[in-house]
Structure 1
Amino acid sequence: MSGLAKILALRGAAVSGSDAKESTVVLALKQLGAEVFVGHAAEHVPAGASCIVVSSAIRADNPELVAAGERGLPVIHRADALAALMQGHRGLAVAGTHGKTTTTSMLAVSLTALGLDPSFAIGGDLNEPGSNAHHGTGEIFVAEADESDRSFQKYSPEVAVVLNVELDHHANYASMDEIYESFEAFVARIVPGGTLVVDTDHAGAAELAARVAGREDLTVVRVGESEGADVRIRSIAARGMTSEVTVVLDGHELTFTVSVPGRHYAHNAVAALAAGVALGVPAAELAQALSSYQGVRRRLQLKGEVRGVQVIDSYAHHPTEIAADLEAINAASGDGRVLVVFQPHLFSRTQQLGAEMGEALSHADAVVVLDIYPAREDPVPGVTSELVIAAARAHGADVTPAHSLADVPDLVAGMAKDGDLVLTMGAGDVTFLGPEILARLA
């Protein structure tokens, strides 16, 4: 939402809005001239408003939404607003259960480094608050396409990326069949003559590619490590907290560096490479530009190091993401232990995937598990962090429950030793613990 507000402000629109609390994002929007209120109230909707833009997280009884309805103002979903902003551009939409933000960020950074000045809208900040969106002068518009509420079906990109397809967002999808149907509807929106880039090393994405293979006006580009890939990953070599990736594209071998560790981030980078090439960007130039990507906030982001203990923050909240980030961190940690502070996200996700979360966390040397971060959901009877804790312990994990964020910094500082790596993990407010842990260590 803040990215849309930023692009609209940069295009000269009068923008106002509300957020739950003050933040660096709010400050960044105010500096662009947007009027931002803290808290939600009917009087925050200005008299001259032409419409109100909402996300799926806004409930029907929100006072500003109610006021808009009473005044007959058009209510526009976030995805419809983004689709309108993309009109007149060559759209590149990045979808998938995991990796969307990273891959979209890689494209935004590398295309910018090549002087193409793309517009972009990302679900996370690159290096600083407010860097999640840009109104560029170039013809390309790169957007993160969110499947969680089916809103990615609003876009009509020239190139689309699907990184993986798994069951998630249980409040909106009851089965994998519904997930596939949703992704097929997204692919159907690709303009005639367009391109789908799909990572067929992932079973769900490979299945999607097979389902849409009959469309004659669509080029499907398969990326991955398998022999049949159109853009084949020949090797991924770990280099501490980076990776060196070698790919074969159109018979030519390219090697470049990915600034974040782990096989999954290497796959994201190769999907970005294939997508850019589909838009006509020279492969060798784009591969070199991808090396300039320095990460995105909350994607294995180093928060600091004190007394030989590194603290890293991760947005991972789905079992696949947790396992992938732990694989990468374990490979980069050397002889040190990996200590995880995990906060389950959403009651519905924990109810469905709590056991898998616990199994994934068992690959850490020790785990602190917080209470569930509810976000937009109401509690579900019987669904607590104990589902994760019990599963982790069943797989041999050393687990400590923590029911208060305030208790965690002292707890972790007492556990950590020189050479250890602390990973704060989850999609909620666990991210705020990194600086506090570093302060206790100091």
Structure 2
Amino acid sequence: MTPGLPPAMDRPHFIGIGGAGMSGIAKILAQRGAKVAGSDARESATAEALRERGATVHIGHDAAHLAADATAVVVSSAIREDNPELAAAAERGIPVVHRSDALASLMTGLRPIAVAGTHGKTTTTSMLAVSLSALGLDPSYAIGGDLDAPGSNAHHGEGEIFVAEADESDRSFHKYAPEVAIVLNVELDHHANYASMDEIYESFETFAGKIVPGGTLVVAADQSGAAELTRRVRDLNLNVVTYGESEGADVRIQKITPRGLTSEVTVLLGGKLLTFTVSVPGRHYAHNAVAALAAGVALGIPAHNLASALGKYTGVKRRLQLKGEAAGVQVIDSYAHHPTEMNADLEAIRGAAGDSRILVVFQPHLFSRTQELGVEMGQALALADASVVLDIYPAREDPIPGITSELIIDAARSAGADVTPEHAKDAVPDLVAGMARPGDLVLTMGAGDVTDLGPKILDRLSKGSDAANESN
């Protein structure tokens, strides 16, 4: 099955083409034969991967980058109104398309699975993409993170299934009409766009209402917000399938057995027990795998085949990704930036680490999130043996007076955590090298550029080890 190009998307220009969501759509369009161009704030491996696929990628934002023959300009909610390329599009009458509309258009004529939830979307979408590919179904997919290499966040497949990460942050997931939707959890986040849990529930109800008539909603049974959503959508024309450890779950998790950096999961599905391996540690990821299993079964894929294929998933970049080891210290990267995610990843690492110390380098993400959840972030850091807390990564936001990393640091110390503030990111490798000793695990954590520190910490640890060996 080879869908054609969506209307007006044969020569698209992407503003912020290097972003996780934008680059995936650009890649699929390029694979379908579009003449793709775009710009990004800085050079990156993703930008280079797009060039290798035939896209034109400019660095920096300038009206001159918008080609004369561009048929549409694709933007995300992060693009500001004063962007010069956006202004040029308005002056020239070029249609401006939100990335969610572009992604929705790519699903036309296919069987979409949309993965939503406050946490776990990227992992669960990746699990589905990998397992369906392992079964030879060649799905198309668009994921918010790279599987194994820059540019591997998306693929145009010849199969009939399209797996997409559905972003609730700006309500853009309302644009999709999936055959199967997954809701992993429903919590208050994205405080710049949602003022209350009622608004969150209303948004997820709207998303559920977009599922095609007779389609399936796969929803967590154990998480309170998801359970409330289930109650609210019972009157819709949907098949609702719950999963989890709760006694009444339709896909019941019977047992999760930790096995180092993997887990063995046993579920009761259709009256039969099924056991399979999840190649990432922790209860949180085991639940993600069961959600993926339930969604695949809803599309008619045999459960035992899908369970076996799920074992092929070995992780996605920034989701407890092992960056390397030096001087007996392992460095792992985590995208966790919400307290629930932080707790889940730290508990998973704690369960797999045995007696090893866990050192965290945490970079808060967004002033608004820190304002609302900073105390809970600090409390989560108490699960580590020691932490270094950086300044807030602003991303698309302007500073909020009085909101700094001190909010997190004070809460962490009140919870008994050993916390060191560090304002200079470049100083972190030396600081961590002085703290770490053989056998420790170092976790770089956050949704900003803290991920860049992993290789630098490893390099610093390696140099320290070399110097020690020379002195001996």
Q: Where on the TM-score scale, by shorter chain, does this alignment land: which range?
A: over 0.9
Does 2:317 align with 1:297? Answer: yes
Does 2:41 align with 1:20? Answer: yes
Q: CA–CA distance in 1 between the matches of 2:189 and 2:355? A: 34
Shift of 1:334: 1.1
Partner residue in 2 for 1:104: 125
1:356-398 C-alpha deviation (Å, 9 max, x unpaired): 0000111100000000000000111100000000000000000
Partner residue in 2 for 1:312: 332
Partner residue in 1 for 2:248: 228
1:210-239 C-alpha deviation (Å, 9 max, x unpaired): 000112x20000000011010000000111
Does 2:388 align with 1:335? Answer: no
Q: Identify unmatched segments of 5+ residues in structure 2.
A: 1-21, 463-472
Shift of 1:200: 1.2
Q: CA–CA distance in 2 between the matches of 1:187 and 1:148? A: 15
Of 95, 98, 102, which aligns to 1:81?
102
Aligned residue for 1:359, secondary structure, equals helix
Q: For residue 203 of structure 2, what is the amino acid of its counterpart? A: S
Shift of 1:204: 0.2
Does 2:151 align with 1:130? Answer: yes
Q: CA–CA distance in 2 between the matches of 1:421 and 1:387? A: 25
Q: CA–CA distance in 1 between the matches of 2:45 and 2:426? A: 22
1:149-169 C-alpha deviation (Å, 9 max, x unpaired): 000000000000000000000
Q: CA–CA distance in 2 between the matches of 1:196 and 1:5? A: 28
Does 2:269 align with 1:238? Answer: no
Q: How does 1:352-367 map to 2 (within 5 A)?
A: 352-367=372-387
1:105-141 C-alpha deviation (Å, 9 max, x unpaired): 0000000000000000000000111000000000000
Partner residue in 2 for 1:2: 23
Partner residue in 2 for 1:91: 112
Give the share of equivalent positions with the same residue, in percent: 76
Q: CA–CA distance in 1 between the matches of 2:355 and 2:440? A: 8
Does 2:273 align with 1:253? Answer: yes
Q: CA–CA distance in 2 between the matches of 1:181 and 1:374? A: 28
Aligned residue for 1:82, secondary structure, equals helix
Q: CA–CA distance in 1 between the matches of 2:353 and 2:386? A: 14
Of 428, 436, 440, which aligns to 1:416?
436
Q: How does 1:37-436 map to 2 (within 5 A)?
A: 37-215=58-236, 217-436=237-456
Q: For residue 377 of structure 1, what is the amino acid of its counterpart? A: E
Q: For residue 78 of structure 2, what is the amino acid of its counterpart? A: A
Q: CA–CA distance in 2 between the matches of 1:440 and 1:7? A: 39
Cα RMSD for the two superposed structures: 0.5
Q: CA–CA distance in 2 between the matches of 1:87 and 1:108? A: 18
**Which consecutive aligned stretches of 4+ in structure 1 deviate over 3 angstroms post-superposition?**
none
Aligned residue for 2:263, secondary structure, equals strand
1:35-71 C-alpha deviation (Å, 9 max, x unpaired): 0000000011110011100000000000000000000
**Alignment: residue pair count:** 441
Q: For residue 249 of structure 1, what is the amino acid of its counterpart? A: L
Shift of 1:252: 1.0
Shift of 1:418: 1.0
Partner residue in 1 for 2:469: none
Shift of 1:347: 0.3
Aligned residue for 1:126, secondary structure, equals coil
Shift of 1:259: 0.9
Q: CA–CA distance in 2 between the matches of 1:54 and 1:188? A: 25
TM-score, scaled to structure 1: 0.99
Q: Identify unmatched segments of 5+ residues in structure 1.
A: none
Q: For residue 327 of structure 1, what is the amino acid of its counterpart? A: E
Shift of 1:307: 1.8
Q: CA–CA distance in 2 between the matches of 1:257 and 1:403? A: 41
